[in-house]
Chain A
Amino acid sequence: MSSLLHLFVLLPLVGFIISLLIPKKQESLISWIVFGVVGLHFIGSLIFFTIWLLNGHPTLNLPDIALYRTDNYVFLVDFYFDKISAVYLFVGGFLTFLVTIYSRRYLHREEGYKRFFNAMLLFYFGYNITIFAGNFETLFIGWEILGICSFLLIAFYRDRYLPVKNAYKVFSVYRIGDVGLILAMWASHHLWHENITFSKLNDQSLVHEHLSSHSMIGVFISFAILIAAAAKSAQLPFSSWLPRAMEGPTPSSAIFYGSLSVHVGVFLLLRTFPFWENQISVRILIVVLGLLTSAVATLTARVQSTIKSQIAYSSVAQIGLIFVEVSIGFEKLALFHFAGNAFLRTYQLLVSPSSVSYLIREQFYNFIPRKQTIENSFPRKIRNTFYMLSVKEWNLDSFMNRILWTPLNEAGKMLDFLTTKRLLIFFIPAYIIGVVVLDAHITLPYELHEYVPTIFALVGLISVLKAFSERKNVLMSWMMIIMNHFWLVLAISFNENFTHNQVYLYLSGVVFAGTVGYLCIRRLKLLEDAYDLNQFYGHAYEHPKIAFVFLLSCLGLTGFPITPTFIGEDVIFTHIHEDQAGLAFFTSLSFIISGIALIRIFSRVFLGPHIKTNHETAYRSS
């Protein structure tokens, strides 16, 4: 019975691949395939669900599949099924099925009909991996897929400015969450000395035994998990991305940001609950975070004057409460609450255009001029302050700007003196020296050797910062990101000797994706005389194929699970020692920024309003 789980994961993937191959004019064929896949999946899951219940709803753990194995490292794909997965499977399957049927007609004649359903199936694939994941590594695969699908669906209207800008923004926030997960994986590797599965986390005595001796690592892991969950579920301080994600067609906003995607953070908490169950400080932190988010989001929702942002903030407030419920240990209530909230928000978003006629009719018959609300009883100055703060979303958006964009831009600006030439003059010799030293086994003084990995990681970080802040040269930006990976490998190699195989594994993806991306940039240079990184160019309008291939190479380079680099990243992290916080910090920072920088290159060159105005182009304000 449990082997069926693989089918649930594979079915959307197969559907996705088939749907990619259908020509985009074949609307009805595309929609039938998607309908078939999602329908089959839903019905299958209902049958599975029933049998599972009749068998006394056992917790299922599937044998691992080792994707990669060395003497001291193994990357396992592991699947797991319990009542949490069951609820997420049912709610996800039900809503995806309904929204698929809805969208088949709703998106008729829409440019991008195929893209929409491609992204939808890929999303569903990622969702299933996530909810069936039996360990962090597997969950991370699903997690990454969800992130990139979000980017694609928010930027669905890729020829307009705001969708692209917001997709980029949301992707960046997600990236922070991703790093939370990477760090949690890193630390737990050191804690357990194995790929810990979620089923083992249920073993109270095992968890207790490990944590009692490493309580700091325990707190660190929980905190990293919380960051990942908060980013994905739009809790403080990340909340402001959710309303901004409502840029795609209404059904996609409904299913992703109304229901499924936004509750994945809750899933992560439920899944890891046994791990932090006994860490009282963490549980208190989650309760406080949840309550604070609920309060701020409720106030913000109360002043929202657009229908979708109102639903978004109301949903965030409820998710805050769900966080609290999870933390207190009311797992069943949290699951129930999740399902109700997901259904409610999906429905509300889907009928949101009806609100005009419905609410105006209400107003026509029931209007009370200058209606007093509870806030009118507050002292005037307090009332005004709260109102203004809520309209400004409690400065959450500008806060994210301040902690994310401003430092990055400032740091990048400091690197302006680094021209291509200077960089090459410094980087290439330095790298060669590094490799020579390493290869010749030259023994460095201990004090120096200790710092070398961190210094090289820092150089890698500088090169991605440069890539991020570059405004002109696309190619250079691209090369800097490739270089970052090389620096990291070098840094880790100094850390400890590990096999060339692992280096090849990591760099093979980098080199391949890097070359393909390079060729795309060259090809585009031949076709278009002008583009840089200072504005959006929208070249996907005329060169959708190049755009697609380039996107794939960007994904390859960010460590998306399509090249071995994905596993390589995990391998690399296992070689960072638990006392090397600096190295871990720089490496993870490089991962965040390189991902953001890559999506930035892709967005600037291929997305946004098309630079050529010989056809209808949208206003920047739309």
Chain B
Amino acid sequence: MKIHDSVLEVQETEQKSFSFNEHDVLHELKHFLPAQAPLKDFIHHNTLHAFQNLKFEKATHNASEIFGYKVSLPLNEFRSLYDNGKIRKDILEKIITERKGEANVVEWLERLTTKPYNTMGNPRIGLLRLNWKKVYHVDLDLSIQPILFRILCSYLDQGISMWNFPVQDKGFLSSIKELERNSFTSFFKTERVKNLLLHGDYDISSLLKIIVGDESLYKQYLFDQQFAHQGWAGMVATVEDQPQTLLDTKKISLKDLIIFELLLEIDLLDDKFGKIWAPLATRIESKPVDIFAEVAETELSEVMAIWQNAYEWTYYNQVLAGIKIAPANKNTYTIKSFQAAFCIDDRECSIRRYLEKLDTACETFGTPGFFGVEFYFKPEHGKFYTKLCPAPVTPKYLIKELGTKAKKETDVLFTKHTHSLVRGWFVSQTIGFWSAFKLMISIFRPKESPTMVSSFEHMDPVSTLTIENKSITDIENSLQIGFTIEEMANRVEGQLRSIALIKDFTPLIYLIGHGASSVNNTYYAGYDCGACSGRPGSVNSRVMSFMANHTKVREVLAARGLVVPEETQFLGGLHDTTRDEIAFYDEKNLSAKNLEIHKKNQAIFAKALDLNSKERSRRFESISTKQTPEKIHSKIKTRSVSLFEPRPEYNHATNTLCIIGRRALTKSLFLDRRAFMNSYDYSTDLDGKLLFGIMKPIGPVCGGINLEYFFSRVDNQKLGAGTKLPHNVMGLFGVANGTDGDLRPGLPSQMIEIHDPLRLLVIVEHFPEVVLQTIQKLPEMYEWFVNEWVHLVAMNPETKEFYLIKDGAFSLYQPLAENIDKVTDTEVIETSQENLPVYTLN
């Protein structure tokens, strides 16, 4: 028996290349399709996640040959960057030497800078189905896609249509079947297909047999077909796997979609050619190249890879040289005024710098903005839960909001009555005129309105939260309501230790989450805190502060050797990164003494926010950075409520770095809001135990953000969403151009236009051996670094030498000499709109 089995297995693997395994193909297809969730759960991720098992250069080259994506800046842009000194010659030569040997530098330099190349892309995807047009003179996509998208969108719709899909409970295809069975009309034109559907006489292979005919081409056909509308296919696949991303859940599968599309195709062909037509495979002269056949390296791909690296290292080198020369112990007071922890988000870099500048005795930290507490949140009167922790985590806890006062405002012009006939008749003659007035106001005097998304509305500040668990039987939908003392203590301890805040506590410690406000912005979820699943971090900061202030928690902590002085109080807050405002929560619980300190600090925060908005304004054409901070700040606020402003803020558009270490490393550097910063002190964690927890999300979160910006920037048409100005909202879960188009995953051009496509450089302040051990603990974590989707440098804290990981081993990296100027941040920001180099601060 055993022998027999293995013989069969061998035969199977031999046959695998031309036999069709539906399950495997669907699985693989899903893997390659865009994985972006519906808009409300927009979370950044690596656009080319399907290629992550390969090294970055190989992966991107493959992706470009197979799917036709552009995967780096165009060749001529690299060349002009080089000509303008934005890519350093010595660094370029260094990279050529490393890759090609010293002898070939001249030759490769010539190839890179002057040799003409044919940069036309000829992707493999779509070649098979192209034969419909070439041989059969029929345009399947043109006729089928519009109605297919319409039906899909109507089925998945979350609340645009007034009359919902009449049958839903049974899944997509069954619902279609039900409609077809009980109707005087049909989505199909011919009888054969309708009968096929109604009598259940189909599966993917049997339909492909009719259309394609040759089993060895089935897989390729399905890839061609689904990648002709990868936006919709990806959305269906995502909703199939994560139905909870739609509030009004829908049962659908990629398989349903494929079967329905195949039926529509047969229908169209039957309609055009009658019942008898030869399947595609019989009419093509030669089979197109297999889309997943090995992709050959080319001279051009090598040229592009060298450019990409030279471009990256021109910047990285500055950063490393800057860290090396920066004075280590700038302004480290033993007696500190206050401490404040912010999210690691790159947008919080500058506000921390300004706080430290305005109050040199304060200390700031960076930590993922969910503050180590994972839970679902149920706002009062809400019908659903909202997850407030990183997306891969599934919390077991529920926190409810009670005793809210704020009223939800509504906009009468959004009501569906405007779309019905008779009420529409009244409406257009009454509030129709009101809309003219509103339009005028919103253009001349933009102000807050119910149409906007405000980070501060996520939670009512006067509400109470069910943070402390009353009894472990207090359970709702199998979620425990609140945390027990023990559970709270664990989280507080974990949080404090990970950022090494274990001594020298100041009386007042701020925990500031962040969120964003905007209007007319379908990407609003992408502007909020990624560590809170694309929501503002207000609840988390409030919850963590409550826990850390709890006397019983303090007792448990003290027993574990972490003594927080009694007078120390934690205060939660929320930084709105668009409006540059901070709200503080539960100030009423502060002691009289701390309240006084807090009042003093609030003035500092206000000043820092003004300066921060000034620094941000240098990117905005419409605001002159030369004005006073206060004036700029008020303009920045107006911007966030302006209907006609497609760039309320630039979000992560400048991210390039991730620094894990003590603040002292970067405190005297001007990094231009380009760094994620996670506070960490190696000396409190010599074996790298805490480091593991910190490093684990760096790839998926920071790397994911970075690569989504990267790919949306280098191919905004195919990997990004294009310009957002013509976008149309589809079923509340996606956007498309116009009404007939495919969904557009990725980022719009307005979000990425100022982004330089550089991979993330992660700098960890620890001994290289410890870092290596840490990242090797998890294969999926290790993959990010060893396959170079992010660069990793370990900085030996004692020698201050840098070690770069390459092919799984660290080796010494000596930064080339740099001229790093000394500047004052408030002055240098007025000099340019472009990305600024690294400076040291006065």
Q: 0/1 per residue, A383-398, Cβ < 8 Å to B?
A: 1110111111000010
Q: Does A421 contact B (CB under 8 A)?
A: no
Query: Inside 8 A of A341's CB, which chain B residues have their CB?
Result: 428, 432
In the bound complex, CA of A511 to CA of B166 (Å): 59
Query: Inside 8 A of B741's CB, which chain A residues have their CB?
Result: 162, 621-622
Query: Inside 8 A of B414's CB, which chain A residues have their CB?
Result: 348, 351, 355, 358-359
Q: Does B826 contact A (CB under 8 A)?
A: no
Query: Inside 8 A of B122's CB, which chain A residues have their CB?
Result: 613
In the bound complex, CA of A246 to CA of B725 (Å): 11
A364 contacts B424, C-beta separation under 8 Å:
no
**Interface positions of A from 363 to 413, Cβ below 8 Å from B:** 363-367, 369-371, 373, 375-376, 380-381, 383-385, 387-392, 397
A246 contacts B443, C-beta separation under 8 Å:
no
B742 contacts A365, C-beta separation under 8 Å:
no
Evaluate whether A619 and B435 lie within 8 angstroms (CB atoms) in the complex, with A105-B644, A160-B737, A373-B163 already known: no
Determine the residue in chain B with the shortest Cβ distance to A250.
B725
A387 contacts B163, C-beta separation under 8 Å:
yes
Q: Does A546 contact B (CB under 8 A)?
A: no
Q: Does B190 contact A (CB under 8 A)?
A: no
A248 contacts B726, C-beta separation under 8 Å:
yes
Q: Does A62 contact B (CB under 8 A)?
A: no
Shortest distance from the beta carbon of B133 to any chain A beta carbon, whole Å: 9
Q: Does B450 contact A (CB under 8 A)?
A: yes
A384 contacts B179, C-beta separation under 8 Å:
yes
Query: Inside 8 A of B162's CB, which chain A residues have their CB?
Result: 301-303, 373
B141 contacts A340, C-beta separation under 8 Å:
no
A306 contacts B74, C-beta separation under 8 Å:
no
Of A132-140, A307-315, A550-558, A591-599, the stretch lying at the interface with chain B is: A307-315
Q: 0/1 per residue, B709-737, Cβ < 8 Å to A?
A: 00000011110001111111111100011
Q: Does B18 contact A (CB under 8 A)?
A: no
In the bound complex, CA of A250 to CA of B748 (Å): 15
B738 contacts A244, C-beta separation under 8 Å:
yes
Evaluate whether A348 and B159 lie within 8 angstroms (CB atoms) in the complex, with A248-B726, A341-B428, A360-B40 already known: no
Q: 0/1 per residue, B407-448, Cβ < 8 Å to A?
A: 010110110001111001101111111011011100110000
Query: Inside 8 A of A340's CB, which chain B residues have their CB?
Result: 428-430, 432-433
In the bound complex, CA of A469 to CA of B634 (Å): 60
In the bound complex, CA of A392 to CA of B186 (Å): 10
In the bound complex, CA of A304 to CA of B416 (Å): 12
A347 contacts B436, C-beta separation under 8 Å:
yes
Evaluate whether A621 and B418 lie within 8 angstroms (CB atoms) in the complex, with A308-B728, A364-B382, A367-B383 already known: no
Q: 0/1 per residue, A503-541, Cβ < 8 Å to B?
A: 000000000000000000000000000000000000000
Query: Inside 8 A of A375's CB, which chain B residues have their CB?
Result: 163, 166
Evaluate whether A344 and B428 lie within 8 angstroms (CB atoms) in the complex, with A105-B622, A298-B421 already known: yes
In the bound complex, CA of A35 to CA of B229 (Å): 40
A358 contacts B411, C-beta separation under 8 Å:
yes
In the bound complex, CA of A120 to CA of B114 (Å): 43
Shortest distance from the beta carbon of A474 to any chain B beta carbon, whole Å: 20
B739 contacts A250, C-beta separation under 8 Å:
no
Query: Inside 8 A of B39's CB, which chain A residues have their CB?
Result: 356
A618 contacts B154, C-beta separation under 8 Å:
no
In the bound complex, CA of A311 to CA of B435 (Å): 14
Q: Does B753 contact A (CB under 8 A)?
A: yes
B182 contacts A109, C-beta separation under 8 Å:
no
Report, as a range, how many residues of chain A touch the other chain.
35 or more
In the bound complex, CA of A149 to CA of B677 (Å): 51
Determine the residue in chain B with the shortest Cβ distance to A100.
B443
Determine the residue in chain B with the shortest Cβ distance to A347.
B435
Q: Does B253 contact A (CB under 8 A)?
A: no
Q: Does B23 contact A (CB under 8 A)?
A: no
B439 contacts A98, C-beta separation under 8 Å:
yes
Q: Does B568 contact A (CB under 8 A)?
A: no
In the bound complex, CA of A615 to CA of B714 (Å): 10
B163 contacts A337, C-beta separation under 8 Å:
no
Q: Does B652 contact A (CB under 8 A)?
A: no
Evaluate whether A367 and B421 lie within 8 angstroms (CB atoms) in the complex, with A106-B646, A304-B161, A347-B438 already known: no
Q: Does B292 contact A (CB under 8 A)?
A: no
B429 contacts A243, C-beta separation under 8 Å:
no
B247 contacts A363, C-beta separation under 8 Å:
yes
Shortest distance from the beta carbon of B267 to any chain A beta carbon, whole Å: 13
In the bound complex, CA of A472 to CA of B427 (Å): 52
A162 contacts B737, C-beta separation under 8 Å:
yes
B159 contacts A354, C-beta separation under 8 Å:
no
B722 contacts A618, C-beta separation under 8 Å:
yes
Q: 0/1 per residue, B114-133, Cβ < 8 Å to A?
A: 00001111100000000000
Shortest distance from the beta carbon of B401 to any chain A beta carbon, whole Å: 12
Evaluate whether A387 and B166 lie within 8 angstroms (CB atoms) in the complex, with A309-B739, A314-B419, A340-B433 already known: yes
In the bound complex, CA of A373 to CA of B420 (Å): 13
Q: Does A612 contact B (CB under 8 A)?
A: yes
Q: Does B384 contact A (CB under 8 A)?
A: yes
Query: Inside 8 A of A303's CB, which chain B residues have their CB?
Result: 154, 161-163
Determine the residue in chain B with the shortest Cβ distance to A248.
B726
Q: Does A548 contact B (CB under 8 A)?
A: no
Q: Does A2 contact B (CB under 8 A)?
A: no
A616 contacts B715, C-beta separation under 8 Å:
yes
In the bound complex, CA of A365 to CA of B730 (Å): 21
In the bound complex, CA of A141 to CA of B183 (Å): 48
Query: Inside 8 A of B165's CB, which chain A residues have their CB?
Result: 387
Q: Does B615 contact A (CB under 8 A)?
A: no
Query: Inside 8 A of A355's CB, which chain B residues have their CB?
Result: 160, 414, 729, 732
Query: Inside 8 A of B644's CB, which chain A residues have their CB?
Result: 101-106, 251
Q: Does B228 contact A (CB under 8 A)?
A: yes
In the bound complex, CA of A347 to CA of B384 (Å): 30
Shortest distance from the beta carbon of A583 to any chain B beta carbon, whole Å: 36
Query: Inside 8 A of B522's CB, which chain A residues have their CB?
Result: 353, 356
Shortest distance from the beta carbon of B762 to any chain A beta carbon, whole Å: 29
Q: Does A294 contact B (CB under 8 A)?
A: yes
Q: Does A346 contact B (CB under 8 A)?
A: yes
In the bound complex, CA of A318 to CA of B422 (Å): 9
B730 contacts A163, C-beta separation under 8 Å:
no
Shortest distance from the beta carbon of A237 to any chain B beta carbon, whole Å: 17
Q: Does B740 contact A (CB under 8 A)?
A: yes
Query: Inside 8 A of A103's CB, which chain B residues have their CB?
Result: 644
Most buried by A among B430, B737, B753: B737
Most buried by A among B383, B425, B715, B738: B738
Query: Inside 8 A of B731's CB, which chain A residues have their CB?
Result: 305-306
Shortest distance from the beta carbon of B771 to any chain A beta carbon, whole Å: 37
Query: Inside 8 A of B339's CB, which chain A residues have their CB?
Result: none
B622 contacts A314, C-beta separation under 8 Å:
no
Q: Does B185 contact A (CB under 8 A)?
A: yes
Neighbour of B744 across the interface among A94, A106, A342, A622, CB < 8 A: A622
Q: Does B452 contact A (CB under 8 A)?
A: yes
Q: Does B199 contact A (CB under 8 A)?
A: no
In the bound complex, CA of A354 to CA of B431 (Å): 19
B738 contacts A344, C-beta separation under 8 Å:
no
Q: Does A178 contact B (CB under 8 A)?
A: no
Q: Does A60 contact B (CB under 8 A)?
A: no
25 A-B residue pairs with Cβ-Cβ distance under 8 Å, sorted by A, are A98-B443, A105-B622, A244-B738, A250-B725, A250-B726, A305-B157, A306-B728, A308-B738, A310-B160, A347-B436, A348-B435, A352-B729, A355-B414, A356-B522, A357-B452, A363-B732, A371-B164, A385-B183, A390-B163, A392-B185, A392-B187, A614-B121, A620-B228, A621-B229, A622-B742
Sorted nearest first, the 4 A-B pairs with minimum C-beta distance are: A340-B432, A347-B435, A305-B157, A344-B432
Interface residues of A (CB under 8 A from B): 94, 98, 101-110, 156-157, 160, 162-163, 166, 243-244, 246-251, 253, 294-295, 298, 301-314, 317-318, 321, 336-337, 339-344, 346-348, 350-367, 369-371, 373, 375-376, 380-381, 383-385, 387-392, 397, 612-622
Identify 17 new A-B residue pairs, CB closer than 8 A, beyond the known A162-B737, A370-B164, A615-B74. Answer: A163-B726, A163-B738, A305-B154, A310-B160, A317-B421, A337-B425, A337-B428, A351-B413, A353-B522, A360-B732, A367-B383, A371-B164, A373-B164, A384-B166, A391-B154, A621-B229, A622-B744
